[in-house]
């Protein structure tokens, strides 16, 4: 290779590396909104480890393309219309939307909020949500992340997993959060025995949930659903009834997504 060809090759490689780095930084900024739906430049910089000037430059580019929008009153940023359209398109292409009618029916029957989530590392990410019509309710928007150790969906997914227990933080979120690995393992045994999971104010004080796994043909959970309600409405007898309804809905979603013949589900 001649000297000029070598220089051109090095120049091309350098440009490629620079372009890849720029894309990586941009995706870090956009992905940070999964953890917090509304952020300022300082918040984003803290989450991504990027400098405020770099974050500002990337954010302004996303605002121009409508992937981010800025609140004129607070100067904080949130996902824009282009990001919402892209997310909707991805959800439809992955087939998740086929489960939505089942979740809507479960929400109508129970009168409570219903979520569907998938695992991402040691978190559960909400991918579908049906809001309760009750005046007193709690909702988690799609994209919300919940630590698996204090989530009914997380417990269902881990209880019906064929992988070793991940390295969970066992961070104490509320007074009721399980912070002992031994106790958590015992909890998963209980979930497997009865076929559903619970969250008794373990992630949010005053909110209780029941969850059910969505399993594939091998009996491994690839997703989970949860019915959540203010604890004042989650009596022991109602928890049992809601759990049965959640398990039934999870089985219907399994049928709709044809998981009886599949061993995996597309991830987010």
| Per-residue model confidence (pLDDT) at position 25 | 92
1 token code pair: 């290779």
| Per-residue model confidence (pLDDT) at position 93 | 57
DSSP-assigned states of every residue in 154-165: HHHHHHT-SSPP
CATH number of 3-83: 1.10.10.10
Q: In what order do the strands lie in the sheet with 123-130?
A: 145-147, 123-130, 113-120, 221-230, 207-215, 197-200
**What's the pTM value of the predicted model, to 2 decimals?**
0.70
| Per-residue model confidence (pLDDT) at position 13 | 44
169 token code pair: 């933080």
Query: Domain 95-256 falls in which CATH fold?
Result: Beta-Lactamase (3.30.450)
Asked if residues 99 and 116 have their Cβ atoms less than 8 Å apart, the reply is yes
What is the three-class DSSP state of 73? coil
Q: Which residue has the tokens 């009596």?
A: 235
Of 69, 75, 59, nearest to 26 by C-alpha is: 59
| Per-residue model confidence (pLDDT) at position 104 | 96
3-83 and 95-256 have identical folds: no
264 token code pair: 């995996």
Q: What angle do CA 206, 211, 216 make, to 5 degrees?
A: 160
| Per-residue model confidence (pLDDT) at position 10 | 45
Exposure letters 240-258 (e unless 16+ CB within 10 A, then b):
eebbebbbebbebbbeebe
Q: Which residue has the tokens 């991830």?
A: 267
Asked if residues 157 and 143 have their Cβ atoms less than 8 Å apart, the reply is no
- Helix ranges (H only) for the chain are 3-35, 41-48, 52-64, 81-94, 100-110, 152-159, 181-194, 236-256
Helix axes 3-35, 41-48, angle to 10 degrees: 120
Q: What is the mean pLDDT of each run of 10 residues along the chain (268 residues)?
A: 50 55 90 83 94 95 92 90 71 72 96 94 91 86 89 97 93 97 97 97 96 94 95 95 97 87 47
| Per-residue model confidence (pLDDT) at position 76 | 94
| Per-residue model confidence (pLDDT) at position 135 | 87
**Boundaries of every domain in the chain:** 3-83, 95-256
| Per-residue model confidence (pLDDT) at position 138 | 83
């Amino acid at each position: 290779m001649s000297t000029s060809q070598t220089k051109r090759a090095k120049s091309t490689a350098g440009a490629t590396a620079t372009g890849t780095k720029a894309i990586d930084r941009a995706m870090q900024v956009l992905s940070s909104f999964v953890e917090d739906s509304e952020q300022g430049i300082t918040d984003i910089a803290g989450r991504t480890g990027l400098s405020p000037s770099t974050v500002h430059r990337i954010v302004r580019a996303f605002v121009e393309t409508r992937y981010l929008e800025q609140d004129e009153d607070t100067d904080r940023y949130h996902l824009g219309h282009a990001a919402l359209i892209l997310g909707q398109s991805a959800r439809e292409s992955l087939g998740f939307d086929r489960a939505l009618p089942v979740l809507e029916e479960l929400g109508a029957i129970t009168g409570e909020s219903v979520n569907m989530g998938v695992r991402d590392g040691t978190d559960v990410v909400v991918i579908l949500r049906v809001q309760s019509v009750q005046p007193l309710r709690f909702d988690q928007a799609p994209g919300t992340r919940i630590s698996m150790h204090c989530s009914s969906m997380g417990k269902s997914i881990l209880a019906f997993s064929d992988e070793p227990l991940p390295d969970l933080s066992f961070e104490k979120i509320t007074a009721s959060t399980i912070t002992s690995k031994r106790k958590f393992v015992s909890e998963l045994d209980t979930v497997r025995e009865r076929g559903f999971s619970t969250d008794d104010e373990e992630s949010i004080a005053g909110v209780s949930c029941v969850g059910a796994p969505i399993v594939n043909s091998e009996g491994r959970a690839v997703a989970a659903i949860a019915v959540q309600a203010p604890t004042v409405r989650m009596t022991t007898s109602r928890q049992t009834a809601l759990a049965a309804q959640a398990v039934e809905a999870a089985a219907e979603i399994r049928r709709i997504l044809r998981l009886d013949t599949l061993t995996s589900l597309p991830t987010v």
